[in-house]
Structure 1
Amino acid sequence: MKIGVVGAGNMGGLHTSLLKNRQDVEFVGVTDIDLERCTKFCDIHGGRAYRNVQEMIQSGGAEIVFVTVPNTKHKQVIIDGLREGAIVFGEKPFVTSLADADEIMTELAGTENRLYVGFNRRFAPVYARAKDWIRQGFEVQSANFIMNDGDMTSPPWVINTALTGGFLYDTTIHMFDMIRFLIGEIAEVQCIAQQSYYPLQDNFSFIFTTKNGKSIVMSSNGHASWAYPSERVQLWGNHATIVTEELDKVLHCGSNQATLDITDVKNLERNQKWGYAQMHEDFLGAIASNKPFSVTPEDGYKSVLITEACYQSAAQGGKAVHV
């Protein structure tokens, strides 16, 4: 499989480092608006620098394109790749507006296995293990989610909404997808937002109600320090609990159990612990075996719907908004 990367930044480097180690992948190169950065990228990873995604597909022969540009630039690159006939892997977030999401869904109409959305946490061992327990009969009745950022000035572009689309699109959207993955579809959201320390809303509190009637509380902010854990999920069932601690550990206590079932992966290699390696295997394996993608454009679209509903609720002082 011939693969090219759009975006010569940190995420482009992360994906390329993993791709280069696969026997079934040929890395053809990278394109970025900064040609000098492209050249440095190729010095490290190999391949060649291309002027744009069209040239990378037409001249470089890329069959699969990884989109790792800033969040607000996703739409056009995804569409360019699709129109050139490539299969596209799009980093999260899918896009940063409903208008952009609608445009991509229109482009995809009548096709399948053309676009995969990179929600890596679905493949992180702690969340995969939690999902296993749920499949085995743990019924979630209520939950508490936390996802915080310790410093929104490192790197400095994090506070640039023209690039990120806002804090919820850049950070918290992971947990919106995780609610759907672990518990079910979100029907309604109430959100209170504040601008505390940065020139954008950086402090959010949420109440979600799922379509199956479950209640979820969440908090997410960009000024929490890096005190451990900055990411935690607590699920409560019938006298039973599942708790995660960042991407390091997950524990389960079932009904009337005197002992805890603990999965500890804190010493696992980062790309395994964060689910990136498993996500690549899922994505590329589906292509090789011609199977449907497990993470679909519809998943990306629903994450945008939830994010926009949160911002809408916040703008209305926490009024309930249907998703």
Structure 2
Amino acid sequence: MAQVKVGILGAGGIAKVHTGILRRDDRVQIVGVADISADRAHALAGEAGGARPVGSLEELFDLGVDAVYVTTPNTLHVEPVLACLQRNIHVFSEKPMSTSLEGARQIRDAAKVSKAIYNLGMNRRYASVYKRLKELIASSELTPYLAHIKMNRGELLQPEWTANPQVTGGFLYETPFHLIDLCRYLFGEVESVYCQGRQNLSAAELDTFAFVLSFTSGTIANFVTYAHAGWSFPFESVEVYGKYATAATQELEKVMYAPGLKQAAQLHDFFQVPIEEKWGYVEEDRLFIDAILYGSKPPVSAEDGYRSIQLLEAVYESARTGEKIELFKYAE
């Protein structure tokens, strides 16, 4: 069986998640781990089962990698991704694609001409609860007229970098971006957004957002996200309302579907499923390797990722200006 030689760039927490999954895939050989910290590179290389610890992306290239996982901080994604695509080396980039629309545009354009596959890591699309929501909508069992989305953090204290927009790109580029992208995945393209933003406890950036998304499909969604909610459960939830029907998630653990009048609700509980599986990491990694080996469609393409950055930037623009933003203004 052919093996994909993978390099890992950035040896933080999410890199450990992907490393653990890829190690169990017989189609993958992790050949190198690069990090500016030699200690972190050595530690993760040991977990990867014989990978070589190195200090740079160029050294991963020297190892003859077929693909690179870019698991660096948010603001450090564009340069290594472009370097991979220019060398026709497949790249899996953790979210976000970029922390600017210009950076996302550069990656999208590079992916169009590269012979390599670009994939954006948006694990929520493959999380168990959201796969169930997607099935209900795709099958027309639930037509989404209205939705309410909540994605809060507990604080921006630990780790300290979460409070630094020079690292994160801004609060929305951290965890909230997952559900901003998920809105497009579930309900289609956004027509307009109107946002109110506040700077309540964070000294460096907006940390409180409430916005309304209007979709070309006709769905309306209310989205709230706050940076200092104290990890009150559930800090992540999606509620979708259709004709006498409701679907609602609690964290990534449970999804309830009430199909109609005088009918019993259906509850799916994924509490016992391992985190890397129920959060979607296993499936997105498998689909990425499938795309490399078999030419299938990657989970989240460059064009798809670019559209989610367009939406996030429109939210920020509306928060800054107080104006409703029509998404067609970003069209090219």
Q: TM-score, normalised by structure 1?
A: 0.96
Q: CA deviation at 1:111?
A: 4.3
Q: Is the 8 A contact 2:41 2:55 kept in 1?
A: no
Q: CA deviation at 1:172?
A: 1.1
Aligned residue type for 1:17: G
**Partner residue of 2:244?**
239
**Partner residue of 1:159?**
163
Confirm or deny that 1:35 pairs with 2:29.
no
The CA deviation string for residues 194-219 of structure 1, in whole angstroms up to 9 with x for no partner, is 11112221111011101122211010
**Partner residue of 2:6?**
3
CA distance in 1, matches of 2:46, 2:279: 26
CA distance in 2, matches of 1:257, 1:114: 48
**Partner residue of 2:272?**
267
Confirm or deny that 1:279 pairs with 2:287.
no
Q: CA deviation at 1:64?
A: 0.8
Aligned residue type for 1:295: V
Q: Secondary structure at the match of 2:197?
A: strand
The CA deviation string for residues 222-257 of structure 1, in whole angstroms up to 9 with x for no partner, is 111111100010000011111011100001111224
Confirm or deny that 1:298 pairs with 2:303.
yes
Percent identity at matched positions? 34
Residues 246 and 173 (structure 1), Cα distance of their counterparts in 2 relative to 1, 3 Å cut: same
Q: Secondary structure at the match of 1:109?
A: helix
CA distance in 1, matches of 2:115, 2:221: 32
**Partner residue of 2:179?**
175
CA distance in 1, matches of 2:262, 2:70: 45
Q: TM-score, normalised by structure 2?
A: 0.93
Q: Structure 1: state its 5+ residue gaps.
A: none
Q: CA deviation at 1:103?
A: 1.3
**1:1-323 counterparts in 2 under 5 A?**
1-45=4-48, 46-57=50-61, 59-111=62-114, 114-137=117-140, 138-199=142-203, 200-317=205-322, 319-323=323-327
Aligned residue type for 1:28: V
Query: After TM superposition, which residue ranges in structure 1, 4 or more long, deviate above 4 angstroms?
Result: none
Q: CA deviation at 1:54?
A: 2.4
> How many corresponding residue pairs?
321
CA distance in 2, matches of 1:11, 1:223: 22
CA distance in 1, matches of 2:209, 2:115: 36
CA distance in 2, matches of 1:111, 1:56: 19
Aligned residue type for 1:272: E
CA distance in 2, matches of 1:112, 1:105: 13
Instruction: Give the RMSD, CA atoms, in angstroms.
Output: 1.3
Q: Secondary structure at the match of 2:276?
A: helix
